[in-house]
Amino acid sequence: MPARPWKGEWIAMCYLLAVFAVLACAPLFLPPYLKALLSSILLWIGMAVSWHLFCGSTKYVSLGSAAFFGIGVYVTAVFQRAMPFPLILLLAYAISFVFALGVGAATLRLKGMYFAIFTFGLAELLNNAILFWEMKVTGTRGRFVIAMDTYHYILIITFMVLALTIFLRRTKLGLALRTIGENEDTAAHIGVNTTFYKIIGFALSSAFMGLLGASFAPRWGYIDSGIAFNTLYSFMPAIMTLFGGMETFFGPIIGAVVLSFLEEYLLTAFKDYFMMILGSIMIIVILILPEGITGRLQRILGRLA
Amino acid sequence: MSLSFVVDIVIGGAILGALYSLIAVGLNLQYGVTRILNVAHGDFLMLGAYITYFCFTLFNINPFASLVIVGPLMFAVGLLIYTIMLRRMIRQSKSPEEVESRSLLLCFGLSLVVQNLAMILWTANYRGYSAPSLGAISIAGVPFEFNRILIAIISLIINVLLYLYLKFTKTGLAMRATTDNPEGAQIVGINIHNAYALSFSLSIMLSAFAGTLISMYSTISPFIGLPYTLIALVLVILAGIGSFKGNIVGSFIIGYLAYVTLRVIHSALMLVVIYAVLIIILLVKPRGLFAR
């Protein structure tokens, strides 16, 4: 049990619920284009905050978000005709969770580069494996998805991740993850079961990515493994979090909002240069703005005060 | 199982293994010295392949001869990237772990830039050329191009040259010392930032060499790098840092596994095989086959 009551967290939850209520009603007043844009932004916030949940606190860098997102997309595509949508979401959550447990168990017992390397090719691995399966076994290429409006599902999931982040900070799990990020040897030394917490933290964060993938899939009428496991979904959560700032709650949110708008603009204005510009931003952020926007702001404000 | 099938597997796998050893040896050296997790390694292989392609199609330069052009050019590219980006990043970082995680993200960005720049310049289409053939020999009914055998031999020669260079020159010694103990190396008067720059540029150059050789028998596109990056990274773990013996043995293991998969099942499953190897190493011997 925490030493003080969860007062701050509940206040934060009240703000969060207020924002949630506004966003839940927003589609009533928005034209379809803005609604689609808003659900993209919410998706990216969800992805970035999920990424930050594990990678931000432990400082273990995952380049495999697209693998879990893609699992979610495929779960929807395969089971959409067989069961109601909430059940699909539950299934996507469970499968991503178990898959992440496996990945974590293989790589997170060890320190260092193993986790990064393993996650780096993970999306491509699943992409190839599904491609092979479709080629040899089912003889198909991709799948059709029944289009439906999932705005509110994405909204709820993203806010679940946000609420989890708020409360996780002071639970044993959140504390353990942050201690690992500060100094893993010390954490192990004072009796934190680092492997266990790393694996659970990673599975929790990845399962939400699967959930978001499953809820976003009906936006496309047709999906194939290339769409589902696109590198973009591995890259964006990382760059959004870094851009916004690793150390704060608002970092990934601000990063996601800014870069979603940028994505929207670049995709319409400079489609061919889109990925190259994103890559350049990543390089520039690491070299010039290593603490992110929120970190830099905090420092400037701190100097003024 | 026929004799020709066995011969095909034995020689084909060996050729692939030799090539993999060339792809991984540079990354092994570079990671050992600098701790930069270069996930753009395979993209420089792609650049090497494109340079060779254009040398051949525009100026009719023999692909083997284009190694002489690819080498200095890509060494310079490596030096440029190191000087502009990585030196700054390393100086900002407080610990080797921080170098690892920040370089990982930086190189991920770099990889996207290189791939998409190549796509803008040269389109996403697959390209190939037919390299001038030196003829073929037939072993048990299986024809083998001399070119492909030469590719394997050149890969192994470059490995040996690098080994001799690290073993018997002063700069080689400096790089090995930096791998073992950066602080100690600095105390005895080694400029470790020179060692960093040199090993990074060498690694880019060796990767590009592999690209030259690959372009001779395979079609190329801006996005061929990723599987090779992954093979190289897995080989670094499998071999253990600084182990030439581990690199050669590991390369042949993965080369054979990949070739058998390619021949017997399908090329789409090659990554599955590599991941299987990776999982086995992580469970059994995470510090590599020949870790010191």
pLDDT, tens only, A145-188:
888 888 999 999 999 999 999 988 889 999 999 999 888 889 99
**Are B234 and A117 an interchain contact pair (Cβ–Cβ within 8 Å)?**
yes
Q: What pLDDT was estimated at residue B265?
A: 87
Residue-wise pLDDT for B94-112, tens only, equals: 888 888 888 999 999 999 9
Nearest residue in chain B measured CA to CA from A111 = B97
Confidence of residue A291 (pLDDT cuts 50, 70, 90): confident
For A25, residues 6+ apart whose C-beta sits below 8 A from its C-beta are: none
Whether A194 is covered by a domain: the verdict is yes
Question: What residue type is B18 in one-letter code?
Answer: A
CA distances from B289 to B31, B66, B254, B280 (A): 17, 35, 13, 12
Domain that residue A29 falls in: 7-238
**Residue B278 pLDDT level (bands cut at 50, 70, 90):** confident
Name the domain count of chain A: 1
Instruction: With beta carbons under 8 A apart, name residues in chain B contacting A281.
Output: 109
Please state whether B137 falls in left (phi above 0), alpha (psi between -120 and 50) or beta. Answer: beta
A191 alpha carbon, distance to own chain's centre: 29
Taking Cα atoms as reference points, which of A97, A99, A100, A79 lies closest to residue A88? A79
Give the chain B residue nearest A281 (alpha carbons). Answer: B109
Domain ranges of chain B: 3-284
CB pairs under 8 A between A and B: 127
Assigned domain for A263 exists: no
Q: Is the pLDDT of residue B292 over 60?
A: no
Strand residues in chain B grouped as ranges (E): 136-139, 142-145
Rg (CA), chain A: 19
- CA B2 to chain A, closest CA, distance in angstroms equals 25
Judged against a pLDDT cut of 60, whether residue A2 lies above it is answered with no
pLDDT digit string (tens) for A195-240?
Answer: 999 999 999 999 999 999 999 999 888 998 889 999 899 999 999 9
Contacts of residue B145, Cβ cutoff 8 Å, sequence gap at least 6: B133, B134, B135, B136, B217
- The residue type at B101: S
A251 within domain boundaries: no
Does the residue A23 lie in any domain? Answer: yes
pTM of the model: 0.91
pLDDT > 90 fraction of chain A, expressed in percent and rounded: 52
Q: Hey, is A144 helix, strand or coil?
A: strand
- Establish if A305 belongs to a structural domain: no
Nearest Cα to Cα of residue A66 among A275, A246, A218, A235: A235
Q: Quick one: pLDDT at residue A92? A: 95
Question: Per the domain annotation, does A281 fall within a domain?
Answer: no
Question: Is A173 within a domain?
Answer: yes
Widest Cα–Cα separation across chain A: 66
Grade residue B1 by pLDDT with cuts at 50, 70 and 90: low
For residues B228 and B218, is the Cβ–Cβ distance under 8 A?
no
**Which pLDDT belongs to residue B234?**
92
Sorting pLDDT into bands at 50, 70 and 90, what band is B249? very high
ipTM: 0.88
Q: Which residues of A touch B (CB under 8 A)?
A: 59-61, 63, 106-107, 109-110, 112-114, 116-118, 120-121, 124-125, 128-129, 131-132, 135-136, 231, 235, 238-239, 242, 272-273, 275-276, 278-283, 286-287, 290
Give the pLDDT confidence of A106-134 residue by residue, as tens digits: 888 887 788 988 898 899 999 999 988 88
The answer to whether the CB atoms of A106 and B119 lie below 8 A apart is no
